[in-house]
Amino acid sequence: MSTQPTYFAEIAPITFKGPDSTDELSYRFYDKNRVVMGKTMEDHLRFAVCFWHTFSWPGADIFGAGTFSRPWLAGQMDSAAAAWKRREGFDFIQKLDVPFYCFHDVDVMAVATNAAEHQKYLAEAVDDLERLQGETGRKLLWGTANLFSHPRFAAGGATNPDPEVFAFGAMQVRGALEATHRLGGSNYVLWGGREGYETVLNTDLKKELDQLGRFLNLVVEHKHKIGFNGTILIEPKPHEPTKHQYDFDTATVYGFLKRYGLENEVKVNIEANHATLAGHTFEHELAMANALGIFGSIDANRGDHQNGWDTDQFPNSVEEMTLAMLEVIRAGGFTDGGFNFDSKVRRQSVDAADLFYGHVGAIDVIAKGLLNAAALVEDGRLDAFKKARYAGWDGEVGKVATSGSLAEVADLALSKNLNPQPKSGGQERLENLINRFCY
Ligand code: XLS
Ligand code: CA
Ligand code: CA
């Protein structure tokens, strides 16, 4: 085993070569230094590579074993193999030239068999990550803890009927939160991997929701105690692996945060494929998060229009990304958040280069989406249409409707003998307008 990264040796660093470039491993639209609406593309998009799909997943599915030959995964995931993985991972991120990465505790460390080992191996990994960050100039977008893979979490982490699992989860989350803080991470994510149920027959819903609310309060309290200034994010998902997950979608998460007094402390990390699993569009979830004041960050990927599950494919639709970027711009852009590629290559994409093709294409699609969305905003027609649609609220009836009593509003309708008529919502015209900027 070499102490230098070798797995991606055949791939040259990826650079911007412009829209006419014929080099399939170059950026055509992602020009990190280009200024768009007052910010560089790098600062707008804040791309991150995830450790789990990209360096930890062997290409297995529920019917078959791993198809990839990532050499660091070949034997036991001991300290040496974990160090090898981290080293190759940082080499990939540096060659892709994105500023950030994301990890779960277990993605970056040796396999632990108990709580003490967990703490020891995580500490070892964090020392090394700190060194790698220093050497490569890459930063942590977010850290998280995996409370779903180990069999002990089959019935959930914080929502487990067994308080020992709750305690084990607290140990892991404290460790991952403190690691994120030490590594200068911008956010800490909680995805409720198995915080849900398989059947209500054996589930005390109220108790489990209260456990989850308490757990999240403990995390927020600890964040303040250690002085972590990043954002705590919940990542909604409606189901998979459990039949029903409590963090179903953005609106549900907001209701949960309100109930447990955390709506000013926690935001959401919106994943495109989770939005579609919940029966929403990606832009719906982004717009909803913005409307509720809890937009935080994005996990970039896409589902498959014919399959119902979480396929985590790389985004490849400029139209979808234009619609998404419009909502990101409307939300004022990212502060702590960014675009994390929670995307994985298909199981037959076994070459080291395939990991680059996946990321490079997706980065360009999102960059083009940003350029299109910025052009749409600068054009102004889309926003002007929306504004005109609600203009009545600035008039006499609108003002009374905003602040009068029910009787005052009703009486106004009578005194004016109102008979409002439908007005065009202009959907086709607006859809055409979007397409004008896409092609
Ligand atoms: C799984 C989730 C997971 C979170 C981090 O569906 O997307 O990967 O992003 O725990
Ligand atoms: Ca995700
Ligand atoms: Ca997913």
Tens-place pLDDT, residues 220-234: 999 999 999 999 999
* Distance from residue 198's CA to the centre of ligand 3 (Å): 19
Beta strands in 4-137 (DSSP E): 35-36, 39-40, 47-50, 100-104
Residues 360 and 389 in one domain: no
Q: Does the pLDDT at position 2 exceed 80? A: no
CA distances from 239 to 198, 242, 284, 309 (A): 10, 5, 18, 9
Global pTM reads 0.97
Q: Give the model's pLDDT for residue 375.
A: 98
Ligand 1 binding pocket, CB closer than 6 Å:
104, 144, 189, 191, 235, 237, 271, 299, 310, 342
Number of domains composing the chain: 2
- 8 Å CB contact between 159 and 246: yes
Nearest CA to ligand 1 atom 7: 342
Residues 388 and 364 in one domain: no
31, 44, 91, 104: the active-site residue: 104
Residues 262 and 387 in one domain: no
Neighbouring-strand partners of residue 101: 49, 140
Q: Give the model's pLDDT for residue 58.
A: 98
Q: Does the pLDDT at position 125 exceed 70? A: yes
Average pLDDT rounded to a whole number, residues 151-171: 98
Q: Give the model's pLDDT for residue 1.
A: 57
Residues 147 and 262 in one domain: yes
* Distance from residue 289's CA to the centre of ligand 2 (Å): 16
31, 91, 105, 107: the active-site residue: 107
Residues 365 and 307 in one domain: yes
Residues 362 and 433 in one domain: no
Q: Give the model's pLDDT for residue 409.
A: 98
Q: Does the pLDDT at position 48 exceed 90? A: yes
Average pLDDT rounded to a whole number, residues 183-202: 98
Nearest CA to ligand 1 atom 1: 193
Q: Give the model's pLDDT for residue 127.
A: 98
Residues 219 and 267 in one domain: yes
Pocket test of ligand 1: the residue of 49, 52, 340 to mutate, having most ligand atoms within 8 Å of its CB, is 52
Average pLDDT rounded to a whole number, residues 277-297: 98
Mean pLDDT for the chain?
A: 98
Residues 373 and 390 in one domain: no
Lowest mean pLDDT among 44-48, 271-275, 303-307: 303-307
Q: Which residues of 105-130 are buried (b: 16+ CB within 10 A; e: fewer)?
A: bbbbbbebeeeeebeebbebbbebbe
Average pLDDT rounded to a whole number, residues 22-39: 98
Q: Does the pLDDT at position 332 exceed 90? A: yes
Report which ligand 1 atom has the smallest distance to the Cα of 191. Answer: 10
104 catalytic per annotation: yes
Of 340, 357, 379, the residue that ends a domain is 379
> Percent of the chain, pLDDT > 70?
100
Phi, psi of 203 (to 5 degrees): -120, 130
Q: Give the model's pLDDT for residue 366.
A: 98
pLDDT in tens, 346-397: 999 999 999 999 999 999 999 999 999 999 999 999 999 999 999 999 999 9
Report which ligand 1 atom has the smallest distance to the Cα of 271. Answer: 7
Whether residue 6 is contained in a domain is answered as no
Pocket test of ligand 1: the residue of 49, 187, 299, 312 to mutate, having most ligand atoms within 8 Å of its CB, is 299
Domain hosting residue 89, numbered range: 35-379
Residues 340 and 395 in one domain: no
pLDDT bin (cut points 50, 70, 90) of residue 3 is confident
Q: Give the model's pLDDT for residue 188.
A: 99
